[in-house]
Structure 1
Amino acid sequence: MYIATPAPHRPATPAPQYESRFVGQVAPRSPSYNFDSKDKHWIISEGTPVMTKEVIGLVDELYEMRLETLLSVQDLLEAVVGALEKQKVLNNTYIFFNSDHGYHLGQFKQQGEKRQPYEEDIRVPLIVRGPGIKPNTTTQALALSIDMAPTFLDLAGWPLPEDMDGQSLKPILLGEEPAETNYQFLVEYFGAGTSPGVGCFYYGPYVPFLHDAVPMSQSDIYFREYYNITEDYWELHNAVASLTDKETEEFENTIWNFHMCTGSSCHKMRGKKNSRA
């Protein structure tokens, strides 16, 4: 069974019984909050003004309402678990709690944005319970959205199609820790509208960003961004200038190979290390 709630998506209207439950809660003020950066792609550097006091208030209001709508999601989850328990199948059922993507609430001046290549957008929760999963455990293993389908098939005992780019998380869920926890992977964004933008970036952690929604020359629309997450977790300073020509070429080749891979060839690439990753 698949359940997808609109909450906490905009307009994030809370149920009447939960209105004003989180009055006074404000969006997290991380180091990137309302950060004005000129070394990022044009949506951040030129296309978004610094938030005013009025805009900050609206973002905080949205954050409060999002929290309140999630109380209804909690009710739904409790109802589903209760129904499974009543039918005496809870202990034979896997439950995956996940999200489609992260969200900006003031980070890099983005006022409710979700289509950026930064930590706030690409990291999402993944919580799983079910037979054979040890309670209250966490793992550093990589889990991607493309891994969901092969995981479901594997848990159900079905063979995995060879052309699936994702990998089954079943061994990890059942307690097997991977030997390698330093991964690389590709994140792609194909935009929206009749002339979509194209974002193609991979976590090496090197981030090129391409946008072609309006007629521009290649030099105007192609942006390269690079961040060492260990040294600059909030991705405040684009360090692409620190890369040598050889390293840049290596990253570009990796991105291209990820873009063209399929099935097992993608699996092999995920475990490789880049020299600067």
Structure 2
Amino acid sequence: MIICARGKPFGRLVAAVTLLITAGCTADPAPPAPVVTPATSPPAVLASPAPPPNIVLVLVDDLSMNLVPYMPNVRKLQRDGTTFTGYTVTDSLCCPSRASLFTGRFPHNTGIVKNHGSDGGFRLFHSRGLERSTFATDLRGAGYRTAFLGKYLNEYEPGERMGGDRPYVPPGWDQWYAGGNAYPGFDYQLNENGRVVSYGSKPKDYLTDVLAGKAVDFISATATTGKPFLIEVATYAPHHPYTPAPRDANLFPGLRAPRTAAWNRAPEDTVWLAGKPELTARQERDIDEDFRLRVQSVQSVDRMIGRLRSALATAGAADRTVVVFTSDNGYHMGEYSLPAGKQTAFDTDVNVPLVMAGPGIGAGRDAAAVVTNVDLRPTFAEWAGLPAPAEADGRSITPLLSGSTPAGWPRAALIEHHDPATDPRDPDFERDSMNIPPSYDALRTATFTYIEYVDGTVEYFDRTSDPDMLRNVAGTLGPERLTALRSAVRGLATCVGADACGAAADAVK
């Protein structure tokens, strides 16, 4: 494997990569340099520190792994960069997951465990002061120009004033184009830098395309200033109702949802799925139709990624920009005899794409180390030359960019899901009660998933021998092993700060 980077702070990474590219980085060792005697040695020249990289974060909504094969620009990003195959979200629900990404903190520390109401949503995020310390405030304070476009947090509405005299723009953002309940993709409003703008139902109003155009404009304008920039484009696609762009509405005729080993099959010896009936023929038809809509709807997201990368190249900024692609959570559609939904600890819902490409990041590489969305804020901070945020529970993944996992890297990711989405006002409301797992805390390592439900029952899936998570083998574990797992999940579910959370995760065996 050709490795053209070292696990150092990002500024030094960029400098190292630049030197390697200049020298023609290859898989073969470079020939020995000629010996230079003191008499002929040239004067020392101090290298200028590399400027911090720009960051383009594309966050999509409810994107599952099985959609990536239909996204050629994402696959190109994978060939050009590194795919973190062990990436896990802290909660397979929109708002708790996004809160973790912004703050670098687990849901038990943000207090955001639901999409809205007394224990979740934008209003609680705002009232708890969490907006005052995010990756946006970090980077803006470091001199970055910042922009946010798309879906923010559940309950946010473009006209919200939050006590001010203009529609509210959170701290940390120089440019702000955020929507509210814009899931249909048409007939929505955006808060555009404190001014509410309405969009209609014409093809030109399709939301993903509108966000793409504004993002390209921001990149083109900001790249000329010489200042580093951070832009997050948070699409609503492919969230329900899975609306595709009009030009994509006839694509993929006859496409059906993948019939994996888990299709329409409840796992053996499970707790909350015991006695789950098989899907009806009508449910299967609905899932197939919706899967096709989801594939159609991500075509505009995929084109947007291509447009953003083209804009970076045209602006001469591609070689100093990291492009990050990920999702707030995954999605199941027919697996485990479940209708379409999320919120479970199955890999369909919690193991989502994370792809990074840019200077200092190896091309065509898969990284299997445990990574979670609380790690992104510390990573962005390191790239900007900042110390790790004091309150973050995650750690920078920059050491993984060298192609190896350093000693002491956490062995487990924490997944916590509490107070499930059972309110009809919630956009993720599950009408089928059998699709709603009880509250739980879970551990996900490279080899197993352990789930502890609110009533004390447990599940254990050995994903090495059972990658589709179809056999709960918790009953085969001895009492000492179960005690150790219970202790480990308690340690992670109560940890505070990167050191404590890292130690708790590394203690998982």
TM range (shorter): 0.7 to 0.9
Q: 2:332 touches 2:342 (CA, 8 Å); kept in 1? A: yes
1:36-51 residue pairs with structure 2 within 5 A? 36-37=266-267, 39-42=269-272, 44-46=273-275, 48-51=276-279
- The alpha carbon displacement at 1:164 in A equals 1.6
Question: Does the alignment pair 1:104 with 2:339?
Answer: no
- The alpha carbon displacement at 1:63 in A equals 0.7
- Structure-2 residue corresponding to 1:215: none
Amino acid at match of 2:269: D
> Structure 1 residues 158 and 111 mapped into 2: Cα distance closer, same or farther (>3 Å)?
same
- The alpha carbon displacement at 1:94 in A equals 0.9
- The alpha carbon displacement at 1:115 in A equals 0.8
Amino acid at match of 2:481: E
- Structure-2 residue corresponding to 1:268: 503
Select the residue among 108, 112, 121 that pairs with 2:349. Answer: 121
Q: 2:485 touches 2:508 (CA, 8 Å); kept in 1? A: no
> Structure 1 residues 226 and 177 mapped into 2: Cα distance closer, same or farther (>3 Å)?
closer
> Structure 1 residues 271 and 38 mapped into 2: Cα distance closer, same or farther (>3 Å)?
closer
SS in 1 for 2:365: coil
User: Could you tell me how far apart the structure 1 residues matched to 2:292 and 2:502 are?
Assistant: 40
User: Could you tell me how far apart the structure 1 residues matched to 2:453 and 2:317 are?
Assistant: 48
Question: How many percent of aligned residue pairs carry the same amino acid?
Answer: 29
User: Could you tell me how far apart the structure 2 residues matched to 1:19 and 1:180 are?
Assistant: 48
Question: Does the alignment pair 1:229 with 2:463?
Answer: yes
Question: Does the alignment pair 1:202 with 2:443?
Answer: yes
- The alpha carbon displacement at 1:37 in A equals 4.0
- The alpha carbon displacement at 1:241 in A equals 1.0
User: Could you tell me how far apart the structure 1 residues matched to 2:293 and 2:337 are?
Assistant: 19
- Structure-2 residue corresponding to 1:163: 391
Question: Does the alignment pair 1:71 with 2:299?
Answer: yes
- Structure-1 residue corresponding to 2:147: none
Task: Summarize deviations over 1:190-213 as a string: whole Å, max 9, x none.
Answer: 22357x9522111253533435xx
> Structure 1 residues 197 and 228 mapped into 2: Cα distance closer, same or farther (>3 Å)?
closer
Question: Does the alignment pair 1:15 with 2:245?
Answer: yes
- The alpha carbon displacement at 1:270 in A equals 2.5
Q: 2:266 touches 2:470 (CA, 8 Å); kept in 1? A: no
- Structure-1 residue corresponding to 2:310: 82
Amino acid at match of 2:279: M
- Structure-2 residue corresponding to 1:25: 255
Number of equivalences: 262
Task: Summarize deviations over 1:156-176 as a string: whole Å, max 9, x none.
Answer: 111012332111011212444
After TM superposition, the score normalised by the length of structure 2 is: 0.49
User: Could you tell me how far apart the structure 2 residues matched to 1:235 and 1:172 are?
Assistant: 27
Select the residue among 485, 489, 499 that pairs with 1:255. Answer: 489
Q: 2:268 touches 2:470 (CA, 8 Å); kept in 1? A: no
- The alpha carbon displacement at 1:23 in A equals 1.4
User: Could you tell me how far apart the structure 2 residues matched to 1:136 and 1:38 are?
Assistant: 37
- The alpha carbon displacement at 1:145 in A equals 0.8
Select the residue among 115, 120, 134 that pairs with 2:362. Answer: 134
Task: Summarize deviations over 1:114-163 as a string: whole Å, max 9, x none.
Answer: 11111111111111011111221222222211111111101111101233
* Unaligned stretches of 5+ residues in structure 1: 212-220
User: Could you tell me how far apart the structure 1 residues matched to 2:501 and 2:267 are?
Assistant: 34
User: Could you tell me how far apart the structure 2 residues matched to 1:38 and 1:87 are?
Assistant: 55
Amino acid at match of 2:280: T
Q: 1:206 touches 1:251 (CA, 8 Å); kept in 2? A: no
Q: 2:332 touches 2:349 (CA, 8 Å); kept in 1? A: yes
User: Could you tell me how far apart the structure 2 residues matched to 1:243 and 1:187 are?
Assistant: 21
User: Could you tell me how far apart the structure 1 residues matched to 2:494 and 2:456 are?
Assistant: 20
Amino acid at match of 1:99: S
User: Could you tell me how far apart the structure 2 residues matched to 1:150 and 1:193 are?
Assistant: 33
SS in 2 for 1:78: helix
User: Could you tell me how far apart the structure 2 residues matched to 1:89 and 1:36 are?
Assistant: 49
User: Could you tell me how far apart the structure 2 residues matched to 1:235 and 1:117 are?
Assistant: 10
SS in 1 for 2:366: coil
Task: Summarize deviations over 1:45-99 as a string: whole Å, max 9, x none.
Answer: 24x5311112111101111111111110012112211222222212111110001
User: Could you tell me how far apart the structure 2 residues matched to 1:116 and 1:177 are?
Assistant: 28
- Highest Rg: 1 or 2? 2
Q: 1:186 touches 1:258 (CA, 8 Å); kept in 2? A: yes
SS in 1 for 2:464: coil
User: Could you tell me how far apart the structure 1 residues matched to 2:254 and 2:442 are?
Assistant: 37
Q: 1:184 touches 1:270 (CA, 8 Å); kept in 2? A: yes
SS in 2 for 1:227: strand
> Structure 1 residues 92 and 206 mapped into 2: Cα distance closer, same or farther (>3 Å)?
closer
Select the residue among 454, 474, 477 that pairs with 1:240. Answer: 474
Between 1:246-255 and 1:166-175, the stretch displaced more is 166-175
Q: 2:267 touches 2:472 (CA, 8 Å); kept in 1? A: no
**CA RMSD after TM alignment:** 2.1
SS in 2 for 1:76: helix
User: Could you tell me how far apart the structure 2 residues matched to 1:209 and 1:33 are?
Assistant: 24
Amino acid at match of 1:154: E
SS in 2 for 1:138: strand
